Amino acid sequence: MPDKPEKPEQPEDTATGREQPRRRQARGERRIQQLLEAAASVFCATGYTAASTNAIAREAGVSPGTLYQFFPNKEAIAIELGDRLMHDLRDTYGEALAPVDPATPLADAVAAVVDRLTAFNTDHPVFFALMHGPDMPGGITEAHDALHTSLLGRIETLLASLLAPGTDKADVTRTAHVCLGIYKAGLELVLSHEGTEQQAYIQEIKNALTRYLDPLVGHHLDQPAG
Amino acid sequence: MPDKPEKPEQPEDTATGREQPRRRQARGERRIQQLLEAAASVFCATGYTAASTNAIAREAGVSPGTLYQFFPNKEAIAIELGDRLMHDLRDTYGEALAPVDPATPLADAVAAVVDRLTAFNTDHPVFFALMHGPDMPGGITEAHDALHTSLLGRIETLLASLLAPGTDKADVTRTAHVCLGIYKAGLELVLSHEGTEQQAYIQEIKNALTRYLDPLVGHHLDQPAG
DNA sequence: GACAAACGCGAGCGGTCGCTCGCATTCTGA
DNA sequence: TCAGAATGCGAGCGACCGCTCGCGTTTGTC
């Protein structure tokens, strides 16, 4: 009995559950980082479905077998990528989606959120690829869904601090869906243009969102001296 | 010389050009219709990339070889489908995107266009699948691109009759892009809901578009007695 | 230095895909 | 009537995919 090793915990994984991380060397963590960066690059270039695991491994400079040393399957790569992306979003731009001071003019609040989210998307193009391409087979697109749901929740709380206090919960949710939709549609236009035209499209996102939300916000503080 | 048949025209096709239609029997035309309907069904269910030509043939009740009797490759199916869809759009809802009487209130004009386009999309779900899924390999997605470009052009002329007369051409184009983006984003939300909630989202599309366009239109006729 | 575990490789397995080919059947026009 | 074109079939080819497996190498620990 006492001869047995102290850690009999073999990596158990449920059907879709997370296996507890096995013993990993620094080399392994580096490889994982390489593979995720390569996957981001390939996903970005071709989308999730068309991206082949062999191409990801090649891009990372390792063999297919090495890739599967660290990820159980292709979907897990996208999920892990999505998790880290969302972690980055929380860390770097968490305050972008926090409730705002109701005294802030709507246009300024929208502009700030759009500017920060746009910057994040420019820094991490794969975020757009994972958000926009619901082409994952099997029905459940965990990475995409987690990103989407999390963003929606944050927008809802943000809207809760902007909209008229009596607004119905279902209305807030619907408004959040529409705002996210407008932003995603605008982002596609922003990313497909450059330079001055790109800036013009960013302004159009702000215009569209501001004008859409304006009749919905509580105007009690807009013109305090009115 | 006079012995030669009157129609020596063999089906010549350039790299991406259209071959002139070979001699076809009524049977063939029926098969083509069957195959296109089956393709619409399969594209709708799984998207273009994931749709297999064998599945399309099976859905149509014919063999893979028969499918390739009428279409040179998979992409040609989507292109022909897109062409016929656009033809239907022109025929059935052409007037939906025609220039409107400037005296019409903006909200009414937007509501009319959105209602008609939404009805068309409900009748032809594959339209949304082809518009929204830019997952076609090879870079050029002719069917998708043709639909997109044609719709954009129609929206531009429609906007030209609504916007303030002095509006810059580039601004009109940009506004058309944004409007189409908002509509497509809203359509995705509409199609993913049902019943009362679906109607609510349709109303939100109208709200978003109306409020976005309102500051841009010439207000010279809005309140004739103002 | 010895041993086990983690890492790394790449040929290749089982499967699906787009598409072909040889051949049988049905239709058309003279 | 009958030659030839159009239609129809379905096994299967070649390519690629996600992923595995056996085996050699590196690393951490005692």
Hey, what amino acid is at A58? Answer: R
**pLDDT recorded at residue A142:** 66
Integer Cα distance of B139 and B116 in angstroms = 31
Residue A18: pLDDT over 50 = no
Integer Cα distance of A77 and A36 in angstroms = 7
**pLDDT recorded at residue A54:** 98
Hey, what amino acid is at A6? Answer: E
**pLDDT recorded at residue B31:** 98
Q: Which of A170-174, A184-188, A217-221 has the lowest mean pLDDT?
A: A217-221
Residue pair A152/A86 in contact (Cβ under 8 Å)? The answer is no
Integer Cα distance of B47 and B78 in angstroms = 11
Nearest residue on chain A to B210, judged by CA atoms? A212
Residue A23 Cα, gap to closest chain B Cα (Å)? 38
CA angle B173, B177, B180 (to 5 degrees): 135
The minimal CB distance from B211 to the residues A135, A204, A211 is found for A211
CB-strand contact A62/C, under 7 Å: yes
What are the domain boundaries of chain A? Answer: 26-71, 79-217
The answer to whether B199 contacts chain A (CB < 8 Å) is no
**pLDDT recorded at residue A7:** 37
Contact flag A49-B204 (C-beta cutoff 8 Å) = no
Hey, what amino acid is at A24? Answer: R
| A97 vs B105, higher pLDDT | B105
Q: What percent of chain A has pLDDT over 90?
A: 58
Nearest nucleotide (CA of B64 to C1'): D10
Q: How confident is the model at residue A167 (pLDDT cuts 50, 70, 90)?
A: confident
Contact flag B135-A47 (C-beta cutoff 8 Å) = yes
Mean pLDDT score, A178-202: 96
**pLDDT recorded at residue B142:** 66
CA angle B52, B30, B49 (to 5 degrees): 15
Q: Please give the structure tokens belonging to residue A201.
A: 């499209």
Q: pLDDT tens-digit profile of A145-155?
A: 777 888 899 89
Mean pLDDT score, A158-165: 85
Integer Cα distance of B128 and B36 in angstroms = 16
- For the domain spanning B83-217, the CATH number is 1.10.357
Buried b (16+ CB within 10 A) or exposed e, B83-119: eebbeebeeebeebbeebeeeeebeebbbebbebbbe
Pick the closest to residue B181 from B132, B108, B140, B216 (CA basis).
B132
The minimal CB distance from A185 to the residues B135, B185, B211 is found for B185
Integer Cα distance of A141 and A131 in angstroms = 10
Q: Please give the structure tokens belonging to residue B219.
A: 């207000």
**pLDDT recorded at residue A5:** 36
**pLDDT recorded at residue B151:** 86
Residue pair A117/A93 in contact (Cβ under 8 Å)? The answer is yes
Residue pair A211/A106 in contact (Cβ under 8 Å)? The answer is no
Q: Please give the structure tokens belonging to residue A125.
A: 């193009």
Q: Which of A12-26, A126-140, A202-216, B123-137 has the lowest mean pLDDT?
A: A12-26
Buried b (16+ CB within 10 A) or exposed e, B15-52: eeeeeeeeeeeeeeeebbebbbebbbbbbbebbbbebe
Q: pLDDT tens-digit profile of A39-94?
A: 999 999 998 999 999 999 999 999 999 999 999 999 999 999 999 998 998 888 77
Residue B185 Cα, gap to closest chain A Cα (Å)? 5
The answer to whether B149 contacts chain A (CB < 8 Å) is no
CB-strand contact B53/D, under 7 Å: no
pLDDT < 50 stretches in chain B: 1-19, 139-140, 221-226
Q: How confident is the model at residue A17 (pLDDT cuts 50, 70, 90)?
A: very low
Residue pair A216/A167 in contact (Cβ under 8 Å)? The answer is yes
What is the rounded average pLDDT for all residues in chain A?
Answer: 84
Under DSSP, the state recorded for A2 is: T
Q: pLDDT tens-digit profile of A69-78?
A: 999 999 999 9
Q: How confident is the model at residue A141 (pLDDT cuts 50, 70, 90)?
A: low
| A141 vs B73, higher pLDDT | B73
Which residues contact residue A9 at a Cβ distance below 8 angstroms, ignoring those fewer than 6 apart? A20
Residue from A46, A114, A135 whose CB has the most chain B CBs within 10 Å, to mutate: A135
Contact flag A50-B135 (C-beta cutoff 8 Å) = yes
Tell me yes or no: is domain A79-217 CATH 1.10.357: yes
To which H or E segment does residue A100 belong? none
List protein-proximal bases of chain C (any atom < 7 A from a CB): 5-12, 16-22, 27-28
**pLDDT recorded at residue A10:** 41
**pLDDT recorded at residue A15:** 37
CB-strand contact A55/D, under 7 Å: yes
Domain covering A26-71, topology: Arc Repressor Mutant, subunit A (1.10.10)
β-sheet bridge partners, residue B217? B163
Evaluate whether B26-71 and B83-217 have a shared fold. Answer: no
